[in-house]
Amino acid sequence: MIKEIKMPSAGQTTDQATICSVNVKKGDIVKRGDILVEAETDKATLPVESFANGTVIDIKVSEGDTVDAGTVLMVIGDAADAASYKAEAVAPEAAAPAAPAVKEEDEYQPIDKNAAPVKKAEPAVSAAAPNEVKAMPNAKQLAKQNNVDLAKVTSANGGLIKKSDVEEFMKNSSVKVSDDEDVYAVEPQSRMRKAIAARMLQSCNEIPSFQISINIDMTGAIKLKNEVLDAFGVKISYNDIMCKALAVTAKEFPLLNARYENNEIRVCNHTNIGIAVGLDNGLVVPVVKHVDQLSLKDIAAANKANIGKARDGQLLPSDMGCGSVSLSNLGMFDVDEFTAIVNPPESCIFAIGSIRTEPVFKEGVFVPCSKCNVTVSFDHRMIDGSYGAKLLKKFKAYMENPSLLLF
Amino acid sequence: MEQFDLLVIGAGPGGYSSAIEAAKAGLKVAVFEKDNVGGTCLNVGCIPTKYLLDKALAMDKIRNLTGDGIFKDAGLFSYKKIQAGKDAVVGKLTGGVSALFKANGIQLVKGEAALEKGCKVSCNGSEYEGKNVIIATGSHPFMVPISGVENTIDSTQALSLQQVPKRFCVIGGGVIGLELASAFASFGSDVTVLEMLPDLLPKELPEAVKVLKIAIKKHGLNVITGAKVLSAARNGAEKAVSYEKDGKTETIAADEVLMAIGRKPSLNGIDAKAIGLEIDKKGFISVNDKMQTNLEGVYAIGDVCGGYQLAHAAYAEGEVAVSNILGIAKTLDVSIMPRCIFTIPCFSAVGITAEQAKEQGFDPVVGSFNYQGNGMALAEGASGSVFVIMDRKTKTTLGIQIVGENASEMVSFASSEVANHTTLDQWEQKIVAHPSLSEMVKEAALDAFKLAVHKI
């Protein structure tokens, strides 16, 4: 039986995804669970797995295509299916008119004569039959963005011109070199890059934020970390402890659980905390949900899993965008302190610096003390200065005396 | 052999209107048409051109409103959909003519007719005999046999181009050439018009032609006069038109080249020599002012007998022919033939020019009124000028020429004033609705005697 592999829904915010790689070709034998296609949404890379065993009969998408949820990506079946599928496919194609149909968007041109004309498709491509496309859509797009003449690009495998062929051509080509000193290259933006840009701009445009800095004595937290390692052999991070302290603080300061959505302050019943994970090509913020119901051990495990998934590009859209607080920790880069931008629609973001040994004046003498600077950006639409300050005082108390978290 | 009162060859505007008129008067009528009913005008002439020009005008209006900041942006248009819309309108109109034939009991014979001696017509192997015959076979584009003429298109092909040529070269600055040039300029083509004569429209009032020339230039038409076209070469998809001007040879590149230098009478099936039909020097059928040919009972109307090659001229000539067939003596008065050019902006004229008036012994005085002085024109963003030619002595109206929006509508008002030789006194008594562009016609007439109210 012919099985159609469809694009799964990519999450609540978007039903659109861009195909970033097609891992199989026609005729390949695939097993259940094989990753056939990887699609990139504005939030994550989504692997599309095969739910069936069989042969790839038809591939309906190529790299760079934008697809909606439900779009048939691939057709899988056995040998008999392949024969019958062909028969099905040929009939409508033969009935279709021979003249290449003009695409709806190509049909329109600007009324304003001074406006840039709607670019016509490459003549060679438009003249060719739809099946004989010379270049991958993403290759065409990259070529267009960089004014690269695709006719000059040769395909490495002698077939379709791929994005990598265009990149290679651009690297080798000297067309860009000119006497003009202001030469620049346009960095292609991934969906993630665009999403980050849009979200951060939205934050700056919409959120009246203010910052409060606190200085936490980490002695207690360090002790806890070591004790857990000794007692259970589990390595927990300071982020995990902060998550736990935040969840407990939120019981008294519920606005920590708030999100500003549709002009409403929506206070969640649970504490959902995002951890910013830096990647080579961007940034993701996977969320651990219901932190208030998790033990420190569970929190540590969840964060670890999330970070792993984030680095492997395996996060699902549902793993993100559902928090009310984010933690951004740059301590490992020896950053003393910094401010972060609130991740909308969350109520605040914690910017955590490195743990430094500082002299503290105690009982008449300076003693060394492990200190950590935390700067919190609050959305002033939800949280005022005093509320924020009181909340942080509590948070600081829990961090400095982790045993209180048991209470 | 089937007997008829009247056989009409050709179902264009002249042919179909004559047939209907005759049928309404009780005659038994057959019409022969080898192609679609409606003729050039409905199928490949006035109506499709007007459809394109209407969309072109709308786009100009949008551009102006966008320029004023009233529209945020001009948006996109589909030329393909304009073509589809044009075909739909043509289909509707030709269908309407067929329905009128049916309703009036006119027999429509589809096929190429041949006129024989003695008011007989053969078509599709059958013979038809009529008491009278009207030849209304019309005309077709005349293609000058320059080198590379096969690289040019005629007006019929230009009307059904499926995409807007980037560079559009028009050979011939007459009515057809200027109209299509105007439309394609609006659709975004770079348009060049090559006219052999030293000036455009030499038979019209020079003042009005000057206003028109400035306006169409502003609209984007590059008009080169005194240009004798030598050849139309082709290199791949690109064409190159060579022409001679002031002794120098120039070449312009184009994506499409329209040849619109005039129309030739269509005489297929009319073997003039064999039946003894008189043809004039230019190849048109010779007729008198009753539209009669030299053959007993045979009339000719429309483009095939030359004169004004306009649909409304054919209608008028058809009326004259049918009246005479019915025994009511009637002659054609071409002095009140309105002449329209649907350029952007359009041009219209009726009656005589100042120069022609002088030749006829009048003492002409020309009054004018600019669209800028008219409230309606300002409200609409219209521009242009109205000229009224009056006789100084008798103070009667001799001719009216209008350049600007709605000139083709106002000319009907103008026509009756010329036909009635309206005097200055009568003009003064006329009440024209306000605000309207027609007010300018009265103002221009009064201006001939420096009496215009809204002019310094």
Same domain, A90 and A117: no
Distance from CA of B190 to the nearest CA of A (A): 10
Residue pair A6/A76 in contact (Cβ under 8 Å)? The answer is no
Nearest to A113 among B73, B76, B188 (CB): B188
**What pLDDT is recorded for position A113?**
73
The domain boundary, picked from A188, A210, A243, lies at A188
Classify residue A100: in a domain, yes or no. Answer: no
**Residue B76 and residue A113: Cβ atoms within 8 Å?**
no
Q: Which residues of B touch A112 (CB under 8 A)?
A: 63, 66, 73-74
Q: CA of A138: how far to CAs of A101, A165, A313, A349, in Å?
A: 22, 11, 20, 36
Domain of residue A20, CATH code: 2.40.50.100
Q: Are residues A154 and A200 in the same domain?
A: no
Amino acid A400: pLDDT? 95
Using the beta-carbon criterion (under 8 Å), do A110 and B74 form an inter-chain contact? yes
Q: What is the domain-level CATH number for residue A384?
A: 3.30.559.10
Q: Is the peptide bond before B435 cis (omega within 30 degrees of 0)?
A: yes
SS3 B414: helix
CATH number of B149-261: 3.50.50.60
On chain A, the residues whose CB falls within 8 A of the CB of B73 are 112
Question: How many other CB atoms are there within 10 angstroms of residue B58's CB atom?
Answer: 13
Sign of CA dihedral A309, A310, A312, A314: positive
Which residue of chain A is at minimal alpha-carbon distance from B187?
Answer: A111
Question: A346 lies in which domain range?
Answer: 192-406
- pLDDT, average across residues B425-435: 96
> Are B63 and A111 within 8 A, CB to CB?
yes
3-state secondary structure (DSSP) of residue B251: strand
Among candidates A107, A108, A111 on the partner chain, residue whose Cβ is nearest the Cβ of B59: A111
Alpha carbons A327 and A330: distance in angstroms, whole number:
10
d(CA B300, CA B298) in angstroms, rounded, equals 7
Cβ burial of A152 (10 Å; 0-12, 13-18, 19+) is exposed
Of B74, B80, B81, the CB nearest to A111: B74
- The tens digit of pLDDT for each residue in B317-339 reads 999 999 999 999 999 998 899 99
How far is Cα A108 from Cα A105, in angstroms, rounded to an integer? 6
Q: Per residue, what are the HEC states of chain A?
A: CCEEEECCCCCCCCCEEEEEEECCCCCCEECCCCEEEEEECCCCEEEEECCCCEEEEEECCCCCCEEECCCEEEEEECHHHHHHHHHHHHHHHHHCCCCCCCCHHHHEEECCCCCCCCCCCCHHHHHCCHHHCCECHHHHHHHHHCCCCHHHCCCCCCCCECHHHHHHHHHHCCCCCCCCCCCCCCCCCCHHHHHHHHHHHHHHHHCCEEEEEEEEECHHHHHHHHHHHHHHCCCCCHHHHHHHHHHHHHHHCHHHHEEEECCEEEECCCCCEEECEEECCEEECEEECCHHHCCHHHHHHHHHHHHHHHHCCCCCHHHECCCCEEEEECHHHCCCCCCCCCCCCECEEEEEEEEEEEEEEECCEEEEEEEEEEEEEEECCCCCHHHHHHHHHHHHHHHHCHHHHHC
Are A20 and A71 contained in the same domain? yes
Residue A135 is predicted with a pLDDT of 79
| Record: contact B74-A102, CB cut-off 8 A | no
Exposed (0-12), middle (13-18) or buried (19+): which is B198, by Cβ within 10 Å? exposed
As a whole number of Å, the CA-based R_g of chain B is 23
Asked if the Cβ–Cβ distance from B81 to A102 is below 8 Å, we say no
Residue A132's pLDDT is what?
A: 44
Let me know whether A183 and A222 are in one domain: no
CA dihedral sign, ordered B4, B6, B7, B13: negative
d(CA B178, CA B190): 14
* Cα torsion angle, B9, B10, B16, B17, sign: negative
Q: How far is A115 from chain B (nearest CA, A)?
A: 9
pLDDT at B22 over 90: yes
Structure tokens at B9: 């060859």
**Is B255 within 8 Å of B157 (Cβ atoms)?**
no
**End-to-end CA gap in chain A:** 60
Which among A95, A124, A149 is the end of a domain? A95
In sequence order, the 6+-apart residues with CB closer than 8 A to the CB of A130 are: A100
Furthest C-alpha separation in chain A: 94
- Asked if A37 and A80 sit in the same domain, the reply is yes
Q: Which of B76, B80, B220 sits opposite A110 (nearest CB)?
A: B76
Closest listed residue to residue B106, CA positions, set B18, B173, B167, B179: B18
B29 pLDDT exceeds 60? Answer: yes
- Closest CA of chain B from A263, distance in Å: 29
Does residue B79 belong to the interface with chain A, where contact is any CB pair within 8 Å? yes
Q: Count other C-beta atoms under 10 Å from residue B391's C-beta.
A: 20
Portions of chain B given CATH number 3.30.390.30:
345-447
Domain with CATH 3.50.50.60 in chain B: 2-140+264-334, 149-261
B70 Cβ under 8 Å from any chain A Cβ: no
Q: Most B CBs within 10 Å: which of A105, A113, A126, as the mutation test of the B interface?
A: A113
Q: Are B74 and A112 within 8 A, CB to CB?
A: yes
Distance between A134 CA and the closest CA of chain B, angstroms? 23
Q: Any CB–CB contact under 8 A between B78 and chain A?
A: yes
Among candidate residues B140, B219, B421, B434, the one labeled active-site is B434
Q: Are residues A215 and A361 in the same domain?
A: yes
Q: Is B454 a catalytic residue?
A: no
Q: Look at residues A160, A188, A216 and tell me which one is the last residue of a structural domain.
A: A188
Q: Is the pLDDT higher at A120 or at B135?
A: B135
Two tokens, residue A68: 């909606």
Shared domain for A402 and A307, answered yes or no, is yes
Query: Tokens in use for B14?
Result: 């002249």
- The ipTM assigned to this model is 0.73
Neighbouring residues of B343: CB distance < 8 A, sequence distance ≥ 6: B178, B179, B181, B182, B212, B215, B216, B219
Do residues A250 and A155 share a domain? no
Write the CB contacts of B77 (distance below 8 Å, at least 6 apart in sequence). A108, A109, A110, A111, B55, B59
Whether residue A108 and residue B77 make contact (CB cut-off 8 A), yes or no, is: yes
- Give the model's pLDDT for residue A108: 85
Q: Tell me if chain A has a CB within 8 Å of the CB of B76.
A: yes
Sign, CA torsion A302/A304/A307/A311: negative
Task: Clarify whether residues A346 and A304 are in a common domain.
Answer: yes
- pLDDT at position A182: 60
Does B301 score more than 60 pLDDT?
Answer: yes
Q: How many domains does chain A have?
A: 3
Q: Would the CB atoms of A109 and B188 count as touching at under 8 Å?
A: yes
- Identify all chain A residues contacting B62, using CB atoms and an 8 Å cutoff: 111
Contact B77 A113 (CB under 8 A): no
d(CA B343, nearest CA chain A) in Å: 19
Torsion of CA A119, A125, A131, A132, to 10 degrees: -160
Looking only at Cα atoms, what is the longest distance across chain B?
71
Closest residue on chain A to B66 (Cα): A112
Predicted confidence band of residue B73 (pLDDT cuts 50, 70, 90): confident
A83 plus A10 within the same structural domain: yes
Give tens-digit pLDDT for B445-454: 999 999 999 8
Angle of the B439-447 helix axis to the B407-419 helix axis, nearest 10:
50
- Judging contacts by C-beta atoms under 8 Å, the chain B residues touching residue A108 are 76-78
Token pair listed for B456: 């310094």
Contacts of B68 in chain A (CB under 8 A): none
Among chain A residues, the shortest Cα distance to B61 is held by A111
Fold of B345-447: Enolase-like; domain 1 (3.30.390)
Partners of A102 on chain B (C-beta within 8 Å) are: 80
B163 to chain A: closest CA residue:
A107
A205 and A256 inside one domain:
yes
Determine, for residues A111 and B62 on separate chains, whether the beta-carbon distance falls below 8 Å: yes
Report the residue of B76, B81, B218 to disrupt the A interface, i.e. the one with the largest count of A CBs within 10 Å: B76
Q: Which residues of A touch B164 (CB under 8 A)?
A: 109
Residue A208, domain member (yes or no): yes
Judged on CB neighbours under 10 Å (0-12, 13-18, 19+), B34 is middle
Q: Which two tokens stand for residue B6?
A: 């009247």
Query: Using a CB-CB distance cutoff of 8 angstroms, which residues of chain A are in contact with residue B74?
Result: 110-112, 115
CB contact B68 to A (< 8 Å): no
Take residue B208 and report the two structure tokens written for it. 């009005």
Mean pLDDT of B363-385: 95
Q: CA of B59: which chain A residue's CA is closest?
A: A111
CB B139 within 8 A of CB B304: yes
Q: Is residue A29 part of a domain?
A: yes
Pick the CATH number of B2-140+264-334 from 3.40.47.10, 3.30.2010.30, 3.50.50.60, 1.10.287.1770: 3.50.50.60
pLDDT digits (tens, 9 = 90+) for B161-206: 999 999 999 999 999 999 999 999 999 999 999 999 999 999 999 9
* Same domain (yes/no): A304, A172: no
- pLDDT digits over B77-87, tens only? 999 999 999 99
B74 and A109 within 8 Å at the Cβ level: the answer is no
Residues of chain A with pLDDT below 70 are 10-15, 42-43, 83, 86-106, 115-134, 174-182
Q: How close does chain B come to A109, measured CA to CA in Å?
A: 5
Please judge whether B77 and A118 are an interchain contact, meaning their C-beta atoms are less than 8 angstroms apart.
no
**Residue A103 placed within a domain:** no
To test the contact with chain A by mutation, choose from B59, B71, B78, B187 the residue with the greatest count of A C-beta atoms within 10 A, namely: B78
CA distance B64 to chain A (A): 10
User: In B, which residues are within 8 Å of A124 by CB distance?
Assistant: none
Using a CB–CB cut-off of 8 Å, the residues of A that contact B are 102, 107-113, 115, 117-118
Cβ neighbors of A344 (< 8 A, separation 6 or more) are: A199, A202, A203, A206, A207, A260
